[in-house]
Amino acid sequence: MFVTDIDCHLWNEGRWRRAWEKLGARAIEQDHAPGYHFAVWAPGAERVSVVGGFNHWNGDAHPMTPTGSSGIWQRFIPGLGAGETYKFEIRPHGGPPFLKADPFGLLCETPPNTASITARLDTYQWRDEAWMAARRAGGTRLDRPMAIYEVHAASWRRAPEDGHRPLDWRELARDLIPYVVERGFTHIEFLPVMEHPYEPSWGYQVTGYFATTSRFGSPDDFRYLVDECHRAGIGVLLDWVPGHFPKDAPGLRRFDGTALYEHEDPRQGEHQDWGTLIFNYGRHEVRSFLMTNALFWLESFHADGLRVDAVASMLYLDYSRKAGEWVPNRYGGRENLDAIDFLRELNAVTHDEQPGTVMIAEESTAFPAVSRPTWIGGLGFTFKWNMGWMHDIITYASKDPIYRRWEHQHLTFSMLYAFNENFILPFSHDEVVHGKGSMLGKMAGDHWQKAANLRALYAFMYAHPGKKLMFMGCEFGQWREWTHDQSLDWHLLEPADKGDGTRPAGYHSQIQRFVTDLNHLYQREAPLHQVDFEPAGFQWIDCNDSDASVVSLIRRAADPDDWLVAIVNWTPVIRAGYRVGVPEAGYYRELLNSDAAIYGGANIGNQGGLNTERIAAHGWAQSLSLTLPPLGAIFLKKTNRGNEVSR
Residue 155 phi/psi, 5-degree rounding, is: -125, 5
Q: From the candidates 309, 407, 431, 532, which is the catalytic residue?
A: 309
Mean pLDDT of 39-59: 97
Give the DSSP letter string of 253-310.
TTTTSS-SSB-SSHHHHEETTTTEE-B-TTSHHHHHHHHHHHHHHHHHS--SEEEETT
Give the DSSP letter string of 2-16.
PPPHHHHHHHHHT--
Per cent of the chain over pLDDT 70 is 97
Tell me the C-alpha to C-alpha distance, in Å, between residue 383 and each of 204, 361, 369, 462, 533: 20, 6, 10, 17, 10
| Contact call for residues 180 and 173 (beta carbons, < 8 A) | no
- pLDDT value at position 24? 97
| pLDDT single digits (tens) 456-515 | 999 999 999 999 999 999 999 999 999 999 999 999 998 765 555 544 568 899 999 999
Q: Is the pTM of this model over 0.85?
A: yes
Tell me the C-alpha to C-alpha distance, in Å, between residue 524 and each of 134, 145, 537, 554, 557: 20, 9, 16, 16, 12
- pLDDT value at position 646? 38
pLDDT at residue 41 above 90? yes
| pLDDT single digits (tens) 535-568 | 999 999 999 999 999 999 999 999 989 999 999 9
Active site residue 318: no
Strands 423-427, 383-385: pairing kind? parallel
Q: What average pLDDT does the chain have?
A: 94
| Contact call for residues 195 and 132 (beta carbons, < 8 A) | no
| pLDDT single digits (tens) 608-623 | 999 999 999 999 999 9
Q: In angstroms, rounded to a whole number, what is the distance separating the alpha carbons of residues 324 and 329?
A: 13
- pLDDT value at position 527? 98
- pLDDT value at position 641? 61
- pLDDT value at position 363? 94
pLDDT at residue 643 above 60? no
pLDDT at residue 419 above 70? yes
3-class state of residue 222 by DSSP: helix
Mean pLDDT of 229-245: 97
- pLDDT value at position 505? 63
| pLDDT single digits (tens) 167-188 | 999 999 999 999 999 999 999 9
- pLDDT value at position 329? 93
- pLDDT value at position 494? 86
- pLDDT value at position 644? 46
Which range (242-256, 488-502, 520-534, 578-592) has the least confidence? 488-502
- pLDDT value at position 1? 66
CATH numbers and ranges of domains, the chain: 5-117 (2.60.40.10), 144-252+284-325+340-522 (3.20.20.80), 534-639 (2.60.40.1180)
Q: In angstroms, rounded to a whole number, what is the distance separating the alpha carbons of residues 311 and 340?
A: 10
Mean pLDDT of 41-47: 97
pLDDT at residue 645 above 70? no
* Number of C-beta neighbours around residue 269 at 10 A: 18
Q: From the candidates 150, 256, 362, 363, which is the catalytic residue?
A: 362
Confidence of residue 273 (pLDDT cuts 50, 70, 90): confident
Q: In angstroms, rounded to a whole number, what is the distance separating the alpha carbons of residues 438 and 385?
A: 20
Active site residue 262: no
- pLDDT value at position 502? 45
| pLDDT single digits (tens) 373-417 | 999 999 999 999 999 999 999 999 999 999 999 999 999 999 999
Confidence of residue 94 (pLDDT cuts 50, 70, 90): confident
Per cent of the chain over pLDDT 90 is 91
Mean pLDDT of 82-99: 96
Confidence of residue 122 (pLDDT cuts 50, 70, 90): confident
